């Protein structure tokens, strides 16, 4: 059985037109493997000591693997990583299916695919920090992940539950692209 625990809620706030204060949401996945997703900033290194996947690149410690994520990459039973380019070309989302059958709960640990829940209703929040060339891809990635997950753990805010109203908001944004 997998357990998903948000260790630290991230945040982001605009201080001025060229300054933002932010830190990443840090999530622990407990199961056959212990996995930490988004390890906050370099200044938080004392809290967390090892990271295995950075963007598309797969590595363990100082060993870097030739494989880059282009399709889903399964870390262990119930945990996979899928490419979700948008904020940058290297963005990924960690998908976790905890439980079994009817008791299954699907989590999407999205990094910057979703900055925070508020960016669903106000897409300017993610568009202003993303890459213009990738906006259409990010828009479709956001909808795909929202339809998959029961819960979204965004890059810079607390976890939130998905629902039909949020999906409709994203569908309308996709139509407008």
pLDDT at 174: 78
- Summarised one tens digit per residue, pLDDT across range 70-114 is 567 888 889 998 988 877 777 889 999 998 767 889 999 998 899
pLDDT of residue 105: 95
* Single pTM value for the model: 0.80
pLDDT score recorded for residue 14: 82
**3-176: CATH topology:** Metallo-beta-lactamase; Chain A (3.60.15)
Per-residue model confidence (pLDDT) at position 134? 85
Question: Can you list the residues of the chain whose pLDDT is less than 70?
Answer: 39-71, 101, 175-177
pLDDT at residue 46, as a whole number: 61
Reference 86, options 121, 119, 131, 123; nearest CA is: 131
Instruction: List, in sequence order, every residue forming a beta bridge with 59; answer none if it has no partner.
Output: 64
Contact 92, 111 (CB under 8 A): yes
What are the DSSP calls for 30-96, one per residue? Answer: ESSSEEEE----GGGTTT-----EETTEEEETTEEEEEE-SS-EEEETTEEEEE--SSSTT-EEEEE
- pLDDT of 71 reads 65
Q: Residue 138: enclosing H or E segment and its boundaries? A: helix 135-148
* Sequence ranges of the domains in the chain: 3-176
pLDDT at residue number 161: 98
């Amino acid at each position: 059985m997998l357990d998903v625990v948000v260790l630290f809620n991230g945040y982001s706030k605009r201080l001025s037109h060229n300054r933002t204060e932010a830190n990443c949401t840090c999530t622990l996945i407990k199961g056959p493997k212990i996995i930490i997703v988004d390890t906050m900033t370099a200044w938080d290194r004392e809290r967390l000591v090892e990271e295995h996947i950075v963007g598309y690149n797969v590595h363990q410690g100082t060993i870097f693997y030739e494989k880059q994520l282009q399709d889903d990459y399964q870390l262990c039973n119930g945990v996979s990583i899928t490419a979700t380019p948008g904020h940058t070309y290297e963005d990924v989302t960690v998908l976790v299916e905890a439980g079994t059958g009817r008791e299954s709960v699907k989590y999407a640990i999205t990094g910057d695919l979703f900055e925070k829940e508020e960016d669903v209703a106000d897409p300017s929040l993610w568009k202003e920090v993303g890459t213009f060339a990738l906006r259409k891809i990010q828009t479709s990635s956001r909808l795909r992940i929202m339809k998959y997950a029961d819960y979204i753990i965004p890059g810079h805010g607390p976890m939130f539950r998905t629902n039909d109203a949020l999906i409709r908001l994203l569908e309308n944004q996709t139509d407008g692209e």
